[in-house]
């Protein structure tokens, strides 16, 4: 079979599965990312004449593919959030970003440096890469699609669970906030042996303050401007009805491209723009079309990336992995993230059962692939130690993502279903009590 036709076959299978599998697996202890990775392993093990995916050799392609699926996932995440923006109402988000994420980076870096014996810049890069909760693979634990019935006077936890909100908003922002730490690792590698620490100030001013601020401002402006255009006129033509929701893709690309051109963090801008778009006019049925279109594109591209990931595994991506590497990878999932999450949520009103779920479901995946590909593509001779460790880093990050896909894929439907039922029962009991009192 010719390679081109075989590639078309693989892409077609991936797209078909993206459409059909969610219907089949909605109530099963399994996620379709698990099946896609498995399918990739099987398909690329067959003698189809297709080149085995290699993210080390094809770093630019790996970066661009994962970049696209992450930014469209960030748009979908932002459109899901039926909660007015308020610092107190988003307190769980700030805790996960300001406490849990830095603790995860530090703990991972210490494991990499002290246990695996990597050089410090490589260990810091590993921490930055695996810290973000993935917005792509976390759909089973994210908030539900936008609703038209949003009342800003109603307790937001009555509209959506705190667990789903926390994980969705965290995934929406921490993918962008991992960028400064990735740049920190690159700058540290370049400055190895230097007597001056002037690079730290440059990193803080440019990659931390400036690029985060620009990302937030550009996202806010893009969301405000594009919302006014999208909701200024109703859909009246047949062509317009056919294209309903496609503005979600346009918002994603415009916001991301414009922000990156002025050297801001496009990931942050895209999520902020989607949140602003959602908040522009609460009660409008068109939000559902925007959200659904973004999710459709996300699922199709995600399916392709996961099949390629499976192919990379079949081609030996995990070959450099040692038992010690695997132990550290499992520790990141079962110890580091849960402990950091619990510490970040100390003092909140969230019940302990919900804190444990939020802390345990920091899913790692395609976002980590993007950051690793980005860092290695940015690295040059001055950061040669990162390039030397490329195979080992890909093996470890690939293992963490694979383990996360399996562990969280098996447990997510059951755990989130139980939480949703408990919240519904509590709401029903509260309504019944109110009715008796009146």
Locate the domains of the chain by residue range: 3-152+159-409
Q: What is the mean pLDDT of the chain?
A: 83
Q: Give residue 432's pLDDT.
A: 61
Q: Which CATH number does 3-152+159-409 carry?
A: 1.20.1530.20
27: left (phi over 0), alpha (psi -120 to 50) or beta: alpha
Both tokens assigned to 88 = 């107190």
pLDDT-derived band at 80, boundaries 50, 70, 90: confident
pTM over 0.95: no
CB 199 within 8 A of CB 187: yes
- Residue 184's φ and ψ, nearest 5 degrees, are -65, -45
Closest CA to 387 of 212, 190, 197, 153: 190
Distance CA 292, CA 206 (A): 36
CB 326 within 8 A of CB 33: no
Burial of 99 (0-12, 13-18, 19+ CB in 10 A): middle
pLDDT-derived band at 48, boundaries 50, 70, 90: confident
Q: Give residue 436's pLDDT.
A: 66
pLDDT-derived band at 152, boundaries 50, 70, 90: very low
pLDDT-derived band at 105, boundaries 50, 70, 90: very high
Please check the confidence at residue 430 and state whether its pLDDT lies above 80: no
Q: Give residue 318's pLDDT.
A: 94
Of all residues in the chain, what percent are helix, strand and coil, respectively (each to 5)?
75, 0, 25
Q: What is the mean pLDDT of residues 3-16?
A: 72
Distance CA 92, CA 200 (A): 29
**Model confidence over 288-306: pLDDT tens digits?**
888 888 888 888 888 889 9
Helix (H) or strand (E) holding 208: none
Please say whether the dihedral angle defined by the alpha carbons of residues 247, 250, 254 and 260, taken in this order, is positive or negative.
positive
Distance CA 171, CA 175 (A): 6
Helix (H) or strand (E) holding 412: helix 390-437
């Amino acid at each position: 079979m010719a390679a081109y036709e075989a590639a078309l076959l693989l892409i077609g299978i991936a797209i078909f599965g993206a459409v059909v599998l969610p219907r089949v697996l909605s109530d099963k202890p399994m996620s379709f990312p698990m099946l896609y990775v498995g399918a990739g392993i099987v398909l690329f093990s067959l003698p189809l004449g297709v080149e085995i995916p290699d993210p080390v050799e094809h770093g630019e392609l790996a970066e661009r593919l994962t970049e696209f699926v992450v930014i469209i996932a960030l748009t979908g995440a932002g459109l899901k959030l039926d909660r007015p923006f308020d610092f107190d109402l988003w307190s769980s988000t700030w805790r996960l970003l300001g406490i849990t994420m830095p603790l995860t980076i530090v703990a991972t870096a210490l494991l990499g440096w002290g246990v695996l014996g990597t050089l410090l810049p490589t260990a810091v890069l590993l921490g930055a890469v695996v810290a973000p909760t993935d917005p792509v693979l976390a759909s089973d634990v994210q908030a539900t699609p936008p609703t038209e019935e949003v009342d800003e006077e109603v307790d937001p936890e009555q509209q959506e669970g705190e667990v789903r909100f926390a994980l969705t908003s965290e995934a929406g922002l921490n993918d962008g906030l991992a960028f400064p730490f990735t740049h920190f690792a690159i700058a540290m590698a370049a400055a190895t042996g230097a007597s001056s620490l002037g690079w730290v100030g440059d990193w803080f001013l440019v990659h931390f303050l400036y690029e985060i601020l620009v990302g937030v401002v550009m996202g806010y402006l893009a969301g405000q401007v594009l919302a006014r255009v999208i909701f200024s006129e109703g859909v009246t033509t047949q062509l317009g009805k056919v294209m309903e929701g496609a503005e979600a893709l346009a918002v994603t690309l415009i916001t991301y491209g414009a922000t990156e051109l002025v050297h801001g963090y496009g990931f942050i801008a895209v999520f902020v723009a989607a949140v602003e778009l959602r908040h522009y006019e609460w009660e409008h049925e068109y939000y559902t079309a925007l959200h659904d279109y973004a999710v459709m594109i996300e699922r199709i591209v995600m399916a392709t990336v996961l099949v390629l990931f499976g192919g990379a595994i079949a081609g030996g991506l995990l070959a450099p992995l040692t038992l010690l590497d695997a132990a550290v990878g499992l520790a990141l999932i079962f110890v580091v993230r849960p402990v950091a999450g619990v510490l970040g949520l100390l003092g909140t009103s969230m019940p302990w059962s919900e804190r444990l779920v939020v802390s345990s479901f920091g899913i790692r995946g395609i976002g980590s692939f993007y950051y690793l590909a980005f860092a290695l593509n940015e690295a040059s001779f001055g950061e040669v130690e990162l390039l030397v460790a490329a195979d080992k880093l890909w093996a470890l990050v690939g293992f963490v993502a694979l383990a996360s896909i399996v562990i969280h894929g098996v447990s997510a439907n059951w755990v989130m279903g139980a939480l949703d039922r408990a919240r519904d029962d509590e709401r029903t009991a509260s309504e019944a009590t109110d009715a008796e009192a009146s």
